[in-house]
Amino acid sequence: MHPFSDRLAYQIRQKKTPVLVGLDPRWAQIPDRLKEGKTEENPQDVAVVFEDFCKRIIDVVAPLVPAVKPQSAFFEQYGPSGMQCLANIIRYASESGLLVILDAKRNDIGSTATAYANGLIGPQGSSPWGADALTVSPYLGDDSLIPFVDVANDRGGGLFILVKTSNKGGAQFQDLLVDGTPLYRHVCSYVEKLAVESAQKTSTECGYGNIGAVVGATWPEQLAELRAAAPRTWFLVPGYGSQGGGAKDVAGAFDKNGLGAIINNSRGVIFAFRAEAYRDRFGEANWEGAVEAATLDMIAALAAETSAGKL
């Protein structure tokens, strides 16, 4: 299995875009016709609807983007039925040629961290869940991260470690000064070290390691700052679209060749038919058309406003 970093770079170059589509299904926002005869009170009904909805999205975006990001929480809340649905969607996305970044923000220490890593990280055939990459929290320190790093490197998988998150409340801890430097900069320095080591260990060819950072589109100045501080680290950038981030805001996340970052948009794509920009053109009857249009618009915006236009 080729290293995750090289597989990501290849997919981005093939699709000529760094767009990442987030799969965050919400019962209330899903088109009504997909929910006919089903109720949210029945987790099995929800699982059927979520699977249908997400698979239809995958069918639309698979030719257009390199990866999708299922948010585990939206499936976990419906218990075993929701989790089976998530497993089915991960497999379907992989079989459709997409990389899958599972947004589960796991972490723990010792054998527990190893168990999480063994279960969640690694493409289809190398782990039970079959996710190419996983989001993790750094709060417990290096001994909580190394088990994830080791499994990712061994299986051709990747990690995205929370560094500067898109929510306003993240600054409460992430911006605290430690020895005169914001905490997020300390975390980023450690992630860069892991990225360089993973690139060396797995002999990546694209210039980046398999260990990445989550840095929000809502912090454009910090994006550029961290790109300069972490030249070997992939950035997963949330906050585009519904949280207020735009193409100009994420320009600093990329290197001069248009690599180095993958930009997530969840609600702005999967529920595009509800947005003013697409409601009249498509409406609920053609919600899949709205998904395609929103994806293409984001691809065009990133190409116009960032170095991703060089892909």
Catalytic positions are 105
Buried b / exposed e over 38-56, threshold 16 CB at 10 Å, is beeeebebbbbbbbbbbbb
Q: State the alpha helices, DSSP H only, in 63-218.
A: 72-76, 79-95, 110-120, 142-155, 171-174, 183-202
State both tokens at 249.
């805001």
What is the rounded CA–CA span in Å between residue 147 and residue 102? 17
DSSP classification of residue 260: S
246, burial (CB in 10 Å: exposed 0-12, middle 13-18, buried 19+): middle
CB 106 within 8 A of CB 77: no
